[in-house]
Structure 1
Amino acid sequence: MGTPQHSAGSAAPPGISHGELGHSALQESAPRGSVPARKPLPAKAAASRQGGRLGADSVGWYLSTIGRVPLLTPAEEIELAHHVQAMKRLRELPADQITPRQRHQIRMGTRARDRMMAANLRLVVSVAKKYQNQGLELLDLVQEGAIGLERAVDKFDPAMGYKFSTYAYWWIRQGMTRAIDNSARTIRLPIHVSEKLSKMRRISRELSHRLGRQPYRLELAHAMGMPPQELDDLLSQSAPCASLDAHARGEEDRSTLGELIADPASGETMESMDRTLQKEHLGNWLSQLNEREQKIIKMRFGLEGSEPLTLAEIGRQINVSRERVRQLEAKAILKLRMMTNFERAA
């Protein structure tokens, strides 16, 4: 990130002397009214302290405030990052083993951390503006991005050779995109699923631009490097949830979606009632047959809970031939059909 040159006479943070700091990057003070960068919720904290400046005024005031914080030169970024890393190492030591000099280094690391946070909040706002109108307000996006920035400050190692802004951008963006995914869904998806969905949307846009149309399912699966079935599973997890209290048919019909969805339990009840009525009708019809015809029909169709029998098996049980069983069955079925037709005509 580019940065203006700072004058040598810059004031140290309130209550801290230049002699105590002893480092140029730490001697820059934040302007009057700036937001303490170490807070993970800088935007909301700033807005709440201003009372009547909530809403659009709070956004403008916050942007104006962080805009007065001086940027860092590349050399200052490296110096401050070394102080932060030294502080992290010293904090791992037992408290009773830390020397006064090491406590001083921890304080310097804390100030370095705050300085890096405050000087890069403009980057957070810049990224947040790209993700507006996706389910979160600007200040909420800044809040999530500031948490990502805080992690970037803690993890940044100058020896990697990156500019801090390049490294921090990834953490800031990750914080915002995950917050958007979490807020946009009734059921929170695992992080790895959300990341796959983001990748799928990005690749789908790229294919649409290149092909001049929406990509087919197999084209998208191939570009994603996954089987079509896995892509189908991913798409099913991205489906939005609908409220059962939502009105299903506009303003005129006030029916809710829940009222239009069938209850599986009620369906089972209706089927049970149908079966009961059918058994009652069948019992009445069978009672019109003679005893041998009733027995043949019950054994042939398994009406008494047993497995259906073949004509030969029935013949052995009632001591008649297979052909005779077939004739008796046909005669009984004809009688039943005549009875059902008579009921329908009535």
Structure 2
Amino acid sequence: MDKNLQNYYDQIKKIPLLNFEEELALSERIQQGDATARKSLIEANLRLVIKIAHSYMTADMPFMDIIQEGNLGLMHAAEKYDYRKRVRFSTYASWWIRQYIVRSLSTKRRDIRLPLRKEQTLRMIQRSYHTLSQTLMHKPSNKEIAADIGVSEKEVNFILQITNGFISLDMDTGKDESISMADLHEDYTYSPERDFFKKSSHAVAIHFLDRLKDREKRILMYRYQFNGNEHTLKKIGDKMGLSAETVRQIEIKALKKMQGSADEFRKCLYVEAM
């Protein structure tokens, strides 16, 4: 191992890790402009960067450079982390660390500078890939991407080949862990803040559903996709041994009960989203 890298390892191992409450307290101080708290939060999570950076080891870029890019992502995450969302900092920071590493790798691996039109097409391919991944619930093929952005599949293949060393969107590469095209391009379609708000909303809703009778709660969870796909009245009835009409009546009754807590629900949701 490189001597400088070993020295870096030895230094950060001495920094104690933080528990959840300590992270939240530091975040509150950071939002008040406390630079010392920001430094403490960053230093306590430098080992997280190394752990993530190992997934992106490549001959194209020195490992220490990859770590430094991840550290930039960590610093950005420390600024944006909000203690009021009550999520572990490592969960939040991991996304930003990966994004900074990925952006750097993508830039370093670009051996050929594209004409403006093809550069624009590449950005369309990137956006389409991430959008289709979420809407189709699988990795889109080059053909699906071509159809989405209105160019030929041949054009998509060509641009990906000259910009990423003949790596296809459908191909995985890497030694220790698979690195797909999703890893090689920055994803602008995802926001950690939006994801955490969604999770918080779900948690608050479950809290209020717990006030209902078990049968009422189960029906609302089936009807409003808390357990995955939305269920029809008949399908719920079959699961619970009830008629579709009985399910409908129970749903109406449960919703009326929920309406009585609507103001309280909104207040709780607002606090979670702050």
TM-score (norm 2): 0.48
TM-score when scaled to structure 1?
Answer: 0.39
